[in-house]
Copies of this chain bind each other. A is one copy, B any other.
Amino acid sequence: MSNNGFGFQLLAEDGAARRGVITTAHGEIRTPAFMPVGTAATVKAMLPEQVRGTGADIVLANTYHLMLRPGAERIGRLGGLHRFMNWPHPILTDSGGFQVMSLAGLRTLSEEGVAFRSHIDGAAHMLTPERSIEIQHLLDADITMAFDECTPFPATFEEAERSMALSMRWAERSKAAFRPRPGYALFGIVQGSVYPSLRALSAARLVEIGFDGYAIGGLAVGEGQETMFSMLDTTVPHLPKDRPRYLMGVGKPADIVGAVLRGIDMFDCVIPTRSGRNAQAFTWEGTLNLRNARHADDSAQLDPDSDCPASRDYARAYLHHLIKSGEILGAMLLTWHNVAFYQALMERLRQAIAEGCLQNVASALLARWQEKSDITSA
């Protein structure tokens, strides 16, 4: 372990893929890890004990949302985010950089940071690297993310270069603002759009500054899976082997499998939770839309072999009925199932790495999902 209690231990390698464990102030994270997204201090439609029960070691929460409502100082006064949301395990917070550009009104980007208006009540706010780090400190995040600009896609080389350079200056200011504490970590974020040279430059600069982990940002924004994988192939070799690597905002199961094959250790994405509220279920046989009438009389469960009650104890016909009836329980059960499926997928990938057979396992999974793509609906 490095950094007085925060650390990353590599347990096994299989090609570029790695299995490991991250140690934090609030517990360990088995990698490759999927972090369910708890935007507003709740993984939507799930109880924290359910989230934990699926095998999730860590959740992500959003600085932008929480600074606006209920407010970072308020959460600080109430004892921090772990106590607030009743999740005594590791938490990673994003920096607010992504949402401030996608959600806020009247944004003004400057060297200093981003001035904006709340999408909730129009109130004026300012996010800077220093304020972002302070908010994440108030939230008591185990893993704090450097404040960056998520470069829009598409971007010209010049736009991507300017944006990445700004993010690197903000990364330096984030590092200076971060107060090291035992078990707490600060991650830098590689930018550079789809330009390998910029990605390499960004990674090198972050390593110079020095972070406890390295994220790859600015992907999964419309560039497509092939380009995303190509950027991983380009970027990962520039990141230190002894620090965790986090691919932000990814993704569908097949994206995750491909990224793990390329050496990524951490993921977050709203897909399992958002899909769960939208009648979609991820399964080992592909994606199902439970709203579809063909499920109305189907007595089969989503996954009778699962440990997750949502996957095991309810007929698809019942889930279909709940969705058609607009019942909250439909969102609850499908979200639970999907988060459990994602965690089961990560466990399968971790096992495969430990056994040195990741390529075979990955190929089998991808082929099965491909083959069944004719029955999927999105």
Q: Which of A261-288 contact B (CB under 8 A)?
A: 277
Minimum CB–CB distance from A245 to chain B (whole Å) comes to: 31
Q: Which of A181-239 contact B (CB under 8 A)?
A: none
Chain B's closest residue to A298 (CB) is: B78
Question: CB of A242 within 8 A of chain B?
Answer: no
Are the C-beta atoms of B78 and A45 separated by less than 8 Å? no
Which of B44, B309, B325, B331 is the one whose CB lies under 8 Å from A40? B325
Q: Which of A306-342 contact B (CB under 8 A)?
A: 309, 313-315, 317-318, 320-322, 324-325, 327-329, 331-333
Which of B85, B277, B297 is the one whose CB lies under 8 Å from A318? B85
The size bracket of the interface on A is: 35 or more
Q: Which residues of B contact A85 (CB under 8 A)?
A: 318
Contact A45/B332 with A69-B324, A315-B84, A318-B85 known, Cβ cut-off 8 Å: yes
Q: Which residues of B contact A328 (CB under 8 A)?
A: 44-45, 277, 328, 331-332
Q: Which residues of B contact A41 (CB under 8 A)?
A: 318, 321
Apart from A44-B328, A47-B329, A70-B320, list 6 A-B contacts with CB within 8 A.
A47-B332, A74-B296, A79-B299, A84-B318, A86-B314, A328-B331
Minimum CB–CB distance from A111 to chain B (whole Å) comes to: 33
Q: Which residues of B contact A70 (CB under 8 A)?
A: 296, 317, 320-321, 324
Task: Give Cα A297 to B70, complex, Å.
Answer: 9
Are the C-beta atoms of A313 and B42 separated by less than 8 Å? no
